Structure 1
Amino acid sequence: MLQTAFIRENKEQVIKALAKRHIDATATVTRIIELDEKRRSTQVELDTVLAESNLLSKDIGAMMKSGEKAKAEILKAKTVQLRDRSKELSLISEEVAAELQQELYTLPNLPADIVPEGNSAEENLSVFEAGEIPKLHEGAMPHWELVKKYDIIDFELGTKIAGAGFPVYKGKGAKLQRALINYFLDKNTEAGYKEMQVPHVVNEASGYGTGQLPDKEGQMYHIGIDDLYLIPTAEVPVTNIFRDTIIAEAELPVLCTAYTPCFRREAGSYGAHVRGLNRLHQFDKVEIVRVEHPDNSYKALDGMVEHVKGILDELKLPYRILRLCGGDMGFTAALTYDFEVFSTAQDRWLEISSVSNFETFQANRLKLRFRDKDGKNQLAHTLNGSSLALPRVLAGILENYQTADGIVIPEVLRPYTGFDIIN
């Protein structure tokens, strides 16, 4: 969430920056400033009323002691009026503050200066590409056909149990899935990330803290009777560990990793491009989260990108990195890099990771601060990335490693699977 003081002092800069997202924020920014002015003027009046009431109370006490009861009664009547006015002003202040908060929740983060112009995925900037695209044998198949052939993932059975988008992993398919999870976690912990096991549901405050609410409310599964949400990513519970927290500067950076299933309604997602593992309602993902000093967050972001590159290099999958344009970037991000694996059988790129710097946007919502060397509390920067999301990584392995004799397991995963081919 953007800070009110920053918006008030940099109105034109905020409007111009959000225009890079193809958002005309003029009306919202103007309304925020108006509400903030009303809130502050109301508070000034309330403070004046309370101060006057306190002075009168002292005068009343002195008059009662000196026997001037008639004068005291006149002042008592005035204090009643002041008390009624203070209640009225307090109510106005609460209502204005609530409306101001809701307006602030509607504004996305400001894009970093290097975020490219653009309004759609087609306008994202490719900044890196690596790996050789394999030449597949005649008769090569997309993964949704391969998994049937080798009986390792059953989409129809998942539909029977829960509905479309909830696959059942079987045999070597399940073991390959578990191998990827363990491999990703091991790579992350070796890089200094502390492994966490977190709840798979969160409360409303957690959803607002990391920015999924109210922006992504329609995409989250809501458990109405308990007013809880199934997590769309481990980023939500892991980052909320630090909600309402003050961290000593010497403790920064804080690095965490977690494996969780993720749940997303993906409303409106239809067509051939979302077949099989390409888009699911439930999927597994390993996440990395960092809490950083503002001076170091972009260096940390570069380090996260290099970390994910190292994993994909070991898996020997062809991939590219995109710097997302303003119109395609997530609500909370200041800068995002997407990783995509090339699916040779589908002849298309599949997104398998997003790595983002949120600067102070989440920290302001979370009240996540650090105490600097001078003893002052400042907002930290938060970052997160997929390291990695499993479905499309798995799809890339199945399709790019397929041979006429079966699906070869990447060498780095064989200690985890215990087998080197699915046939």
Structure 2
Amino acid sequence: MLDPSLLRNNLNLIAEKLLKKNYKLDINKISMMEEKRKILQIETEKLQNTRNTLSNIFKDRKSKDLKNQIVKLNNNLNHLKNELSVLKEKMHNFYMYLPNIPFDDVPEGNISLDNQEIKCWGQKRKYNFEIKDHVEIGKKFNELDWQSSAKISGSRFVVMKGQMALLHRALSQFMLDLHISKHGYQETYVPYLVRPQALYGTGQLPKFSNDLFHINLMDKNSYILIPTGEVPLTNLFFNQIIDEIHLPIMLVAHTPCFRSESSSYGRDVKGLIRLHQFDKVELVQIVQPEKSIEVLEQLTNHAETVLQLLDLPYRKILLCSGDMGFSSAKTYDLEVWFPSQKKYIEISSCSNMTDFQARRTKTRYRKKSNKKNIFVHTLNGSALAIGRTLAAILENYQKSDGRVEIPKILQKKYMKGLKFIN
């Protein structure tokens, strides 16, 4: 949620910044609501003062006339309070649909072509044979089973078997070990079912309800399957005040993610690229506001390290304003090379949410110097999406004899000495 004081004092500037995210702010509507709020607030305070004055007089000089005046004032006051409460709720609901404003260094644009390439890493392998995509490789080994998953759950699910399942598990363990031992994150196990409140906190609700899997129970308690580990990790600090000495907080979790992907029509849905259920290792950091710009670079570098150690060619992209997520002020995407498609495909998204999520979750920290409570900044990133990493390995490491080489860093510790999938 945006800082309400920005909307009161810098409305035109905020409207200009939101337009960069393809959101046209209704300035007149906000101005009218804010003006009405001010009037109701002033009237309410005046009536409260009058009521309090008369109540003090009534203590010393009781009279029926004075009592009737107080009763009438209370009725009017309750009516005003109710009107003000309804208006504030209306304003709150309106503000929940406003996206975060982009940083000034975010390139303007609306489509992926407007994104800015920051760097490319790694050498694209050359092949002297006809390469296969990861779907063909998985079918050949009979270890990516699309028929069985369709029989059980429908389209856009997968059953993994044998060495592919082992590689999938090895990747998650490797990523967790790296982020915990080398980068200093705390491993965290979180629920996969959350209350709607948690998704309002991170920004998926109310706008993106159709992209989520909702579970409605007979006892009327409703849950939602998490679309990303970011949701439970960020909400661990819902309505909390954290002592500054405990910052930064660095968390990592391996979770399944569930997405209906109703808004992905026409996008690449082949194989492991866009599933309803997939696994991901997620990084979340909670920091002081003045450190979040630097931390975004650090967190992105942590995700890049995974790709570098796996020796997978990738590029780092700074997303343009119109291609960024709802809650983000700045986002880097990491895109890994898929030789079968001769293009880079997103494998990680690392974002600085500033205080946008913290205002929704009411997460603050107590500043050591002056004991003031200030909203934290939250950052998150995939490090990495495991299914897409597996797919990238199958394609980049394929051999002319049909085998798939396993990245050296995984062979001994994570793949039981296995050097090839064959």
Q: How does the TM-score come out when normalised to structure 1? A: 0.95
Which of 34, 37, 41 is the matching residue for 1:36?
34
Which of 130, 136, 150 is the matching residue for 1:159?
150
Match of 1:22, SS state, is coil
Range with bigger deviation, 309-318 or 257-266: 309-318
Q: What displacement does 1:271 show?
A: 5.4
Match of 1:402, SS state, is coil
Residue number in structure 1 paired with 2:3:
3
Which of 34, 55, 58 is the matching residue for 1:57?
55
Q: Measure, in 1, the Cα distance between the counterparts of 2:350 and 2:268.
A: 23
Contact 1:260 1:284 in 2 (8 A): yes
Residue number in structure 2 paired with 1:384:
380
Residue correspondence of structure 1 range 172-183 to structure 2 within 5 A: 172-183=163-174
Q: Measure, in 1, the Cα distance between the counterparts of 2:215 and 2:73.
A: 46
Match of 1:331, SS state, is coil
Residue correspondence of structure 1 range 318-357 to structure 2 within 5 A: 318-357=313-352
Contact 1:220 1:232 in 2 (8 A): yes
Range with bigger deviation, 268-277 or 381-390: 268-277
Match of 1:112, SS state, is coil
Q: 1:194-222: per-residue Cα shift (whole Å, max 9, x none)?
A: 01000001111111001010121110001
Is 1:370 aligned to residue 365 of structure 2? Answer: yes
Q: Measure, in 1, the Cα distance between the counterparts of 2:148 and 2:333.
A: 32
Identity %: 41
Q: Measure, in 2, the Cα distance between the counterparts of 1:167 and 1:187.
A: 27
Range with bigger deviation, 313-322 or 47-56: 47-56
Contact 1:118 1:327 in 2 (8 A): yes
Residue number in structure 2 paired with 1:111:
102
Structure 2 alignment gaps of length 5 or more: none
Q: Measure, in 1, the Cα distance between the counterparts of 2:306 and 2:103.
A: 27
Q: Measure, in 1, the Cα distance between the counterparts of 2:191 and 2:263.
A: 27
Q: Measure, in 2, the Cα distance between the counterparts of 1:266 and 1:393.
A: 20
What letter matches 1:17 in structure 2?
Answer: K
Q: 1:345-396: per-residue Cα shift (whole Å, max 9, x none)?
A: 2212110000000111111111111111201111111000001111211111
Which of 106, 122, 137 is the matching residue for 1:131?
122
Moved over 4 A (4+): none
Which of 386, 396, 407 is the matching residue for 1:410?
407
What letter matches 1:410 in structure 2?
Answer: P
Q: 1:71-126: per-residue Cα shift (whole Å, max 9, x none)?
A: x1011111111111111011101110111001111110000011101101121111
Q: Measure, in 2, the Cα distance between the counterparts of 1:287 and 1:379.
A: 22
Q: Measure, in 2, the Cα distance between the counterparts of 1:112 and 1:383.
A: 14
What letter matches 1:183 in structure 2?
Answer: F
Residue correspondence of structure 1 range 15-414 to structure 2 within 5 A: 15-25=15-25, 27=26, 29-64=27-62, 72-190=63-181, 191-225=183-217, 226-270=221-265, 273-372=268-367, 373-405=369-401, 406-414=403-411
Q: Measure, in 1, the Cα distance between the counterparts of 2:36 and 2:154.
A: 50
Structure 1 alignment gaps of length 5 or more: 65-71
Match of 1:261, SS state, is strand
Contact 2:241 2:373 in 1 (8 A): yes
Contact 1:344 1:400 in 2 (8 A): yes
Contact 1:7 1:33 in 2 (8 A): no
